[in-house]
Structure 1
Amino acid sequence: MSLERTKAAGFPADHNDVELVRGAHPPHWRNPPPTGAYNLVVVGAGPAGLTAASEAASLGAKVALIERGLIGGTCINTGCIPSKSIIRTSRLYADMRDAENFGADAPDHLRVDFQRAMTRMRRIRQRISHADSAEALAALGIDVHFGEARFDGSDRVTVAGTTLRFRKALIATGARPEFPSIPGLVEAGYLSNETMFDLVDCPKRLLVIGGGPLGCETAQAFCLLGAKVILAQSDPMFLPGEERDAAQILSEALAREGVEVRLNTEVVAVRRDGDKKLADLVRDGDTTTISVDEIITGIGRSPNVDGLGLDEAGVAHDAKGIKVDDYLRTSNPRIYAAGDVCLDYKFTHTAEATARMVVQNALFLGRKRLSELVVPWCTYTDPEIAHVGLYPVEARRDGIPVKTYTVLMHDVARAVMDGEEEGFVKIHVTEGSDRILGATVVAAHAGEMINGVSLAIRSGMGLHALADVIHPFPTQAQGIKMAGDAYRRTRFTPLWRHLAARWLAWSRR
């Protein structure tokens, strides 16, 4: 949701959206007059910008925060918050349809109320955004400026006709959706993560282009909410970066729920036919035409670097974003960057982590390194797919021998009780030791479960130490401990067993 669309005729805003805009971009806001140079000027009020501005201000820095649209950026307005709210509702409907698996009767006539699901999403979005309203930020001592930012030199930026001077600046302008260059797509109309949450009615037939995390999450959620979904992926597999058995489990789940997955399939043309959209799909040289109500694209994101005056500021950049060193400095030593505008890992949690690094490095002579970050991620399908660290193929490419310990979720008691047996825990270690290289978890709550492994990698804990962690019983995270137990059993060598047996025999005398 953009500020412009909230003003456009026909935008399906309710009182929740009105309140969101009132906090995220107050209509009658007056930018404060600058008083001398700022310790830090932050361009962009998404997750990275908000984190940096709030942390710097709490440490006593004089901070200005510039935003051209709505405070909160993609995460709150068109990304994580609305999408995961919709996903949660879709899973509720899935559970109701599967009630017999839980010893209950499924409703005779289950009717999906799509509008209520969207209203809930807007209510949650507005509630969460309230913590970062313009007034809340101003109360922290942050000078909030609305308008387009443009650097006029190495140490100054202009917004709404006012020039702000700075000792250090942070560019945190994020990224925007990439759109496939398909003939006729623009003319026929399409949706992205920035517009699909404006829908009032659930499309009866929906084409999702792209089999990455966004495409898979969207396809599954809308299918569970009542749409007939076709997922078209040009590659021979979706989630191409994940381990193949993880993607296979998700593929089976999508097919079981009714998503029509078409791999090795290219969408080559789109055109309108009345109120429908016709899409030509090519696979192995054969062309088929499908008729759908809506098309959603999800093929990636491009950094927001246009119009910022980066050349005037001496900030190097290209189509992949702003170039930074390991300390997140740009080619202008006064200016840093964080988040999606400069990183390959375009996640909210990575944006926040790099923003904290910038505060330390830019204002307090810190030496925090980007290369030292341990970054987990999760695709929020059902089951979820979470990963941290190296994949085995990456480790072997670097010449590191790998040993993998696998626990299937159907062997985890809580997963059986919850009826969530699909998936596994895989923890990869350096062969001959318990040094954790990486892990993949496929489970209903994989995003929660991966945190323990991330902590272990970050703190240098081995897999043996994970086996010593006591978990409440029953939890699905027990699968992590079970992987540690599997490693520990390998340490019981024949010599160890022989010595243990002799000791026990002696102790019985």
Structure 2
Amino acid sequence: MNKSNESVSKSEVLKPDLCVIGAGAAGMSAASIAVSLGSSVVLIEKAKLGGECLNVGCVPSKALIAAANRAHALRHAKSFGVGSGEEPEIDFARVRAHVRDVIASIAPMDSLDRYRAMGVRVITDEARFTDAATVVAGGQTIKARRFVLATGSRPMIPDIPGLEGVSYLTNETLFNLAEKPEHLVVIGGGATGIEIAQAYRRLGVRVTVLEAGERILAQEDPEMAAVVERALRGEGVDFRIGTAIARIERRAGGQVAVILEGEGNETLEGSHLFVAAGRHPAIEGLGLDSARIDADASGIKVNQGLKTTNAKVYAIGDCASGAGGRFTHVANHHAGLVIRNALFQLPARLGSTPIPRVTYSDPELAAIGLTEEEARAKHSALRILRWSFADNDRARAERSTTGHVKAIVTSHGKVLGCTIVGARAGELIMPWNLAMAKELKISDLAGLVYPYPTLSEATKSAAVEFLKPTAQNPWVRRLVGFVSRLG
């Protein structure tokens, strides 16, 4: 039974079925699932409910991207016979208001009042383990049957000489800008850096992306990442790839100077600096040593059941080390697994569940499973299936023909991975996700009936490519010829 939300004396020791520390995507999912199943739950959060995703991550970034895409569409509407193609007026204060409105529209679902109404006891304060079975927060002592750590992550700040002496932005401050930057310098060519770079360029800002590695989107298939890079270059985003930063200096008028390593030590001056160099787990101050929980720079160590080195404690989402990637959908997946095991002792393991990932650029890049390089390292016989959006009727109608589907399959038709770069790739990746999760063959995807005209037909077309060699087999062609002669 759920515990009442009536106030209790601070001297009383709370003994819920579950204590969740962190009210971001992972923690709120775990708390809501547990309480809906009749368990008593304490949820502890020291900042805003909703965590990074709602307040300074996924939601505001996608709202910003949506505004930028509208501006881009206005510039190119003339090709459809609409408008004049003139440069649209950008009001950054109103763009910021749009972003905040989107956050506000979603926030009630993650509000303190809603969770208290569910029956969750919410404590707004820092949490700390005092021993292996006890947490203190907000003057309360909690001895739960099980604990779940869901404290998320925060921006990683690279060790660049001079960075600490200048004003810079991270995802925690970027969405507060109400004035248009003159020149935004982005440090990091990962998904976040690429998304923000394109969004601000479409909003009329000069943008330079600095990436010390050999290419942007280093975790993705290089062939597909190159399509995204070409698209952004075509829109005017400047890239400096394979170039390290020697130091950063403050200049007059609030300008920031980035001095690049190499011959001549080129200097870039920007009005704003955005650091998108990755994230690290937010696990400081939790008293993990007191709880006998092992952790390192990558996060809290967990097994395949997401259990820490303390059998009463689980870690999920961004704070867990090596548990499937720092994505909101992964955090929600973790929450469901943990509740099964923590409350009901049912088997629950990460296993080989395929995890999709999406870079919300234009064109989008969505991927699941192995890249071509990864697959070739593990399998001797592969088929690479491609289908271009330039050969898709709906893409032509919408003038969104950039990109293609690239699927990696075995010679027997098992799907090992797929990357899609193109319009709405994040939606189009799902049939490939289902195929991998349910061990369907490529022929199963080829055999489905797809509505015409839709972008989803690109999946069918790529899948049909697998069957073409069979159709070219001389014996098959002879059989067809023989049958045709029979009338």
Scaled to the shorter chain, the TM-score interval is over 0.9
CA distance in 2, matches of 1:450, 1:317: 34
* Aligned-pair Cα RMSD in Å: 1.6
* Other-structure match for 1:434: 413
CA distance in 2, matches of 1:145, 1:470: 51
Q: 2:260 aligns with which of 282, 303, 308?
A: 282
Q: Is the 8 A contact 1:32 1:143 kept in 2?
A: no
* Other-structure match for 1:420: 400
| Paired letter, 1:272 | R
* Other-structure match for 2:142: 164
Query: Is 1:272 aligned to residue 245 of structure 2?
Result: no
Q: Is the 8 A contact 1:151 1:158 kept in 2?
A: yes
Task: Note the alpha carbon deviations across 1:390-447, whole angstroms, 9 max, x for none.
Answer: 11211222234221110011001111111110000011101x2110000000012001
Q: 1:504 aligns with which of 478, 484, 487?
A: 484
* Other-structure match for 2:463: 484
Calculate the TM-score normalised by the size of structure 2. 0.95
- SS of 1:137's partner is helix
CA distance in 1, matches of 2:259, 2:217: 20
Q: Is the 8 A contact 2:78 2:85 kept in 1?
A: no
CA distance in 1, matches of 2:470, 2:285: 60
Q: 1:453 aligns with which of 432, 453, 465?
A: 432
63-72 or 176-185, larger mean C-alpha shift = 176-185
- SS of 1:255's partner is helix
CA distance in 2, matches of 1:194, 1:402: 43
Task: Note the alpha carbon deviations across 1:103-157, whole angstroms, 9 max, x for none.
Answer: 2233545211111111011001011111111110111111111100001112221
Query: Is 1:319 aligned to residue 316 of structure 2?
Result: no
- SS of 1:287's partner is coil
Task: Note the alpha carbon deviations across 1:258-305, whole angstroms, 9 max, x for none.
Answer: 111111122222222222333233254331112211100101000011
With over 3 angstroms needed to count, the CA separation of the structure-2 counterparts of 1:343 and 1:447, relative to structure 1, is farther
* Other-structure match for 1:207: 185
- SS of 1:375's partner is coil
CA distance in 2, matches of 1:31, 1:197: 39
Q: Is the 8 A contact 1:223 1:257 kept in 2?
A: yes
Map 1:128-139 onto structure 2 (within 5 A): 128-139=106-117
Q: 2:356 aligns with which of 370, 373, 376?
A: 376
Q: Is the 8 A contact 1:178 1:301 kept in 2?
A: yes
CA distance in 1, matches of 2:251, 2:132: 52
In the TM superposition, residue 51 of structure 1 has moved relative to its aligned partner by 0.5
In the TM superposition, residue 101 of structure 1 has moved relative to its aligned partner by 2.3
Query: Is 1:392 aligned to residue 372 of structure 2?
Result: yes
With over 3 angstroms needed to count, the CA separation of the structure-2 counterparts of 1:30 and 1:346, relative to structure 1, is farther
CA distance in 2, matches of 1:104, 1:210: 37
Q: 2:310 aligns with which of 314, 322, 332?
A: 332
Map 1:42-53 onto structure 2 (within 5 A): 42-53=20-31
In the TM superposition, residue 236 of structure 1 has moved relative to its aligned partner by 2.1
With over 3 angstroms needed to count, the CA separation of the structure-2 counterparts of 1:210 and 1:31, relative to structure 1, is farther
With over 3 angstroms needed to count, the CA separation of the structure-2 counterparts of 1:316 and 1:188, relative to structure 1, is same
In the TM superposition, residue 35 of structure 1 has moved relative to its aligned partner by 6.6
- SS of 2:73's partner is helix
* Other-structure match for 1:19: none
CA distance in 2, matches of 1:62, 1:217: 40
* Other-structure match for 1:465: 444
* Percent identical residues: 36
* Other-structure match for 1:362: 342
With over 3 angstroms needed to count, the CA separation of the structure-2 counterparts of 1:291 and 1:193, relative to structure 1, is same
| Paired letter, 1:453 | W
5+ unaligned residues in a row in structure 1: which ranges? Answer: 1-28
CA distance in 1, matches of 2:448, 2:262: 51
* Other-structure match for 1:235: 213
CA distance in 1, matches of 2:9, 2:122: 7
| Paired letter, 2:465 | A
CA distance in 2, matches of 1:32, 1:47: 29
CA distance in 1, matches of 2:265, 2:14: 64
Calculate the TM-score normalised by the size of structure 1. 0.91
5+ unaligned residues in a row in structure 2: which ranges? Answer: 1-5
- SS of 1:315's partner is coil
| Paired letter, 1:415 | A
Task: Note the alpha carbon deviations across 1:366-396, whole angstroms, 9 max, x for none.
Answer: 2221132210000001101110001121122
In the TM superposition, residue 494 of structure 1 has moved relative to its aligned partner by 2.2
CA distance in 2, matches of 1:195, 1:401: 48
Q: 1:350 aligns with which of 323, 327, 330?
A: 330
Query: Is 1:91 aligned to residue 103 of structure 2?
Result: no
* Other-structure match for 2:3: none
- SS of 1:275's partner is helix
In the TM superposition, residue 331 of structure 1 has moved relative to its aligned partner by 0.4
* Other-structure match for 2:118: 140
- SS of 1:295's partner is strand
* Other-structure match for 1:9: none
Q: Is the 8 A contact 1:357 1:368 kept in 2?
A: yes
CA distance in 2, matches of 1:410, 1:394: 27
CA distance in 1, matches of 2:335, 2:86: 51
Query: Is 1:123 aligned to residue 92 of structure 2?
Result: no
CA distance in 2, matches of 1:190, 1:109: 29
Map 1:208-227 onto structure 2 (within 5 A): 208-227=186-205
CA distance in 2, matches of 1:100, 1:66: 52
* Other-structure match for 1:21: none
Q: Is the 8 A contact 2:21 2:150 kept in 1?
A: yes
* Other-structure match for 1:59: 37
